[in-house]
Amino acid sequence: MISGVPELARGLGFARSAVVPVEPPRRHELYAAWLAEGRAGEMAYLASPEHVAGRADLRSLLATARSLVVVALALDRTDPVVPPDRLLRGRIARYARGDDYHLVMRDRLVALADAIARHAGVPVASRPCVDSAPVLEREWAERGGLGFVAKNTMLIAPGLGSHVMLGELLVDAELAVSAPAAPPRPRCGGCRACLDACPTGAFADAYVLDARRCISYLTIEHAGPIPRELRPLIGTWVFGCDVCQDVCPFNAGGGEPADPALAPRSLEHALPDLVALAARNTNQLRRYVKRTALRRIPRASLLRNVAVALGNTGSPDALPAVRGLLADRDPLVRGHAVWALARLGGNVAGLTDDDPFVAEEITAAAARTSSPPRTPPAP
């Protein structure tokens, strides 16, 4: 029996950790029901046989697994100070403002596996998991006592709030269990601030998110055109969304220190100048997203999001940047720029495009601008 693993994890910078016995998950049927209701949208990988089976049995990921280590890395809960300029700023979700957490987490979990082997004095087989691995991460973190699953579906670690990223290490050695006998109970009580604040009404119910309406899904996972009726509700989010966390009382105040590797790289990686972002050429964009979570979406999706955010600023200062995006090489970007132009009151009459999607956006925008707008632009 190997003890002292939480101490090794703390030494490597994990804000929370616990050792959990390898056992069947308790909420697999909720996951299956969520998929069956179509709430995963286009994230087809989540419903693949390997993913569904993998989530039901940790040993399908490492046949010899005897222990599971669950860990959390803390994100910065504060917002950077914005200089008193008049720039039109978009918003990037906190988790994506620093180095890509997938890389940081994986490196740290590999270091933890090495530390366990050194500490035990024997080789150990292990498998690090983060995000895309078929693991019900929130359930296992809760089982480990790291926190409770809240109405906004986030794992909230008291003292750190929900701004934590989760990871797991499966190990083929017998580690001393540190998880509590029963997982922590939900502590939301009568609060429903997150459910009411969600800009797109993405919660089907408490604890149930319909990804198809979530801004995080629409700006990151969804590849094609964003449904027109949802675009005004996205506001100025360019990548992800933090609204249902920002309103949560468990995230109030500074909290415990954040992991330096996940700290925002710069103001432009937290609250980017939308006009400058729209003007970056391919190489400049590549440099901007390098080693951040933003690198996980194609250039066209990022500029699509920038176009929508510019349209939602409601500012005439956004018009030149939107007109620049009308000339983009990718129809996805041009189509959303047409929408943004019309939303800002720009003239769409006379626009033409050979691409069927862009042509349809022009027709829809022309019809919209000839009738009064139903949703006022965001302030």
Residues labelled as active-site residues: 131
Nearest to ligand B12 of 6, 240 (CB atom): 240
Nearest to ligand SF4 of 6, 95 (CB atom): 95
Least separation, in Å, of the C-beta of 256 and ligand SF4?
18
Nearest to ligand SF4 of 216, 236 (CB atom): 216
Which does residue 198 bind out of ligand SF4, ligand B12, none, counting CB within 5 to 8 angstroms by kind?
A: ligand SF4
Contact assessment for residue 98 and residue 265, using Cβ atoms and an 8 Å cutoff: yes
Task: Kindly state whether residue 326 participates in binding ligand B12, applying the rule CB under 6 A.
Answer: no
Among the listed residues 171, 209, 310, 358, the single contact to ligand B12 using CB under 6 A: 209
Q: Residues in the site for ligand SF4, rule: CB under 6 A?
A: 150-152, 188, 191-194, 198-200, 202, 209, 214-216, 241, 243-244, 247-250
Contact assessment for residue 124 and residue 170, using Cβ atoms and an 8 Å cutoff: no
Give the binding range for ligand B12 (CB under 6 A) out of 77-85, 150-158, 309-317, 367-375.
Answer: 150-158
Which does residue 165 bind out of ligand SF4, ligand B12, none, counting CB within 5 to 8 angstroms by kind?
A: ligand B12
Which residues contact ligand B12 (rule: CB under 6 A)? 27, 30-31, 34, 43, 93, 95, 130-131, 135-139, 149, 152-155, 162, 164-166, 186, 207, 209, 211, 214, 216-217, 221, 240-242, 244
